[in-house]
Chains A and B, each alone.
Chain A
Amino acid sequence: MISRIFIDIAVACGISTFLALVLVIAQRYLADYGICKVTINKKKEVSVQGGISLLGALSDQQIFLPSACGGRGSCGTCKCQLTSGGGPVLPTEKPFLSAKELGDGIRLSCQVKVKGDIEIQIEESIFNIRRYRTKVIDIVDYTYDIKGITFQLIDPQRIDFKAGQYVQLESQPYGKVKQKAVRAYSISSKPQDNGLIQLIIRLVPEGICTTWVHNHLKVGDEVFLTGPYGDFYIRDTEADMIFVAGGSGKAPIKSMLEYLQVVGTKRKMTYFFGARTCKDLYLTDEMKAFEKVFPDFKYEPVVSQPCPEEGWEGKLGYIMPYFPEAIRDPKNTEAYLCGSPGMLAAVQKALVELGVPQAKIYFDSFG
Chain B
Amino acid sequence: MEISSFVLFWAAIFTSNILLTNFLGMCSYLSVSKEVESSFGLGMAVFFVLTATSALNWIVYHKILVPAGLVYLQFIVFIIVIAAFVQLLELIIERYAPALYYTLGIFLPLITVNCAIFGVSLFLVIRNYSFGQSVAFGAGSGIGWLLAILMLAGIRKRMKEKLVPLGLQGAGIALIITGIMALAFIGFSGIVNVQ
Of the candidate stretches A14-22, A215-223, A224-232, the one touching chain B is A14-22
Q: Contact partner of B92 among A8, A30, A115, CB < 8 A? A: A30
A19 touches B80 (CB 8 A): yes
- C-alpha spacing A337/B92, complex, angstroms: 50
B interface, over-half SS: helix
B102 touches A31 (CB 8 A): no
B102 touches A22 (CB 8 A): no
Q: Is A90 an interface position by the 8 A CB rule?
A: yes
Shortest beta-carbon distance, B79 to chain A, in Å? 11
Chain A positions within 8 Å of B81 at CB level: 15, 19
B38 touches A91 (CB 8 A): yes
A16 touches B80 (CB 8 A): yes
Shortest beta-carbon distance, B108 to chain A, in Å? 13
A interface, over-half SS: helix
Chain B positions within 8 Å of A88 at CB level: 102
A22 touches B70 (CB 8 A): no
Chain A positions within 8 Å of B155 at CB level: none
Q: What is the total number of residues of chain B having a CB less than 8 Å from a CB of chain A?
A: 20
| B91-119 interface bits toward A, Cβ cutoff 8 Å, 1 = contact, 0 = none | 11011001000100010000000000000
- C-alpha spacing A27/B92, complex, angstroms: 9
Q: Contact partner of B64 among A15, A20, A30, A115, CB < 8 A? A: A15
A20 touches B68 (CB 8 A): no
Query: Nearest B residue to A16 by beta-carbon distance?
Result: B80
B77 touches A26 (CB 8 A): no
Shortest beta-carbon distance, A88 to chain B, in Å? 5
Q: Is B87 an interface position by the 8 A CB rule?
A: yes
B84 touches A8 (CB 8 A): no
Chain A positions within 8 Å of B64 at CB level: 11, 15
- C-alpha spacing A19/B57, complex, angstroms: 13
Q: Is A87 an interface position by the 8 A CB rule?
A: yes
Query: Which of A8, A16, A91 is packed against the most chain B CB atoms within 10 Å?
Result: A91
Q: Is B88 an interface position by the 8 A CB rule?
A: yes
A30 touches B95 (CB 8 A): yes
- C-alpha spacing A90/B64, complex, angstroms: 40
Interface residues of A in 47-96 (CB under 8 A from B): 87-88, 90-92
A12 touches B76 (CB 8 A): yes
Chain B positions within 8 Å of A22 at CB level: 84, 88
B88 touches A26 (CB 8 A): yes
Q: Is B166 an interface position by the 8 A CB rule?
A: no
A12 touches B73 (CB 8 A): yes
Shortest beta-carbon distance, A137 to chain B, in Å? 46
Chain A positions within 8 Å of B60 at CB level: 15
A87 touches B98 (CB 8 A): yes
| B64-83 interface bits toward A, Cβ cutoff 8 Å, 1 = contact, 0 = none | 10001010010011001100
Chain A positions within 8 Å of B106 at CB level: 90-92
B38 touches A12 (CB 8 A): no
Chain A positions within 8 Å of B80 at CB level: 15-16, 19
- C-alpha spacing A91/B64, complex, angstroms: 40
Taking A11-B64, A15-B64 as known contacts, 4 extra A-B pairs with beta carbons closer than 8 A to each other, sorted by chain A number, are A8-B68, A23-B91, A31-B94, A87-B98
A30 touches B91 (CB 8 A): yes
- C-alpha spacing A310/B84, complex, angstroms: 65
- C-alpha spacing A91/B35, complex, angstroms: 12
Q: Contact partner of B70 among A11, A19, A31, CB < 8 A? A: A11
| B27-50 interface bits toward A, Cβ cutoff 8 Å, 1 = contact, 0 = none | 000000000001000000000000
Q: Is A289 an interface position by the 8 A CB rule?
A: no
Q: Is A46 an interface position by the 8 A CB rule?
A: no
Interface residues of A in 105-153 (CB under 8 A from B): 115
A87 touches B70 (CB 8 A): no
B70 touches A12 (CB 8 A): yes
Q: Contact partner of A23 among B68, B84, B95, B102, CB < 8 A? A: B84
Chain A positions within 8 Å of B91 at CB level: 23, 26-27, 30-31
Chain A positions within 8 Å of B98 at CB level: 87, 115
Q: Contact partner of B68 among A7, A27, A90, CB < 8 A? A: A7
- C-alpha spacing A15/B78, complex, angstroms: 11
A26 touches B92 (CB 8 A): yes
Shortest beta-carbon distance, B45 to chain A, in Å? 13
Chain A positions within 8 Å of B92 at CB level: 26, 30
- C-alpha spacing A7/B67, complex, angstroms: 12
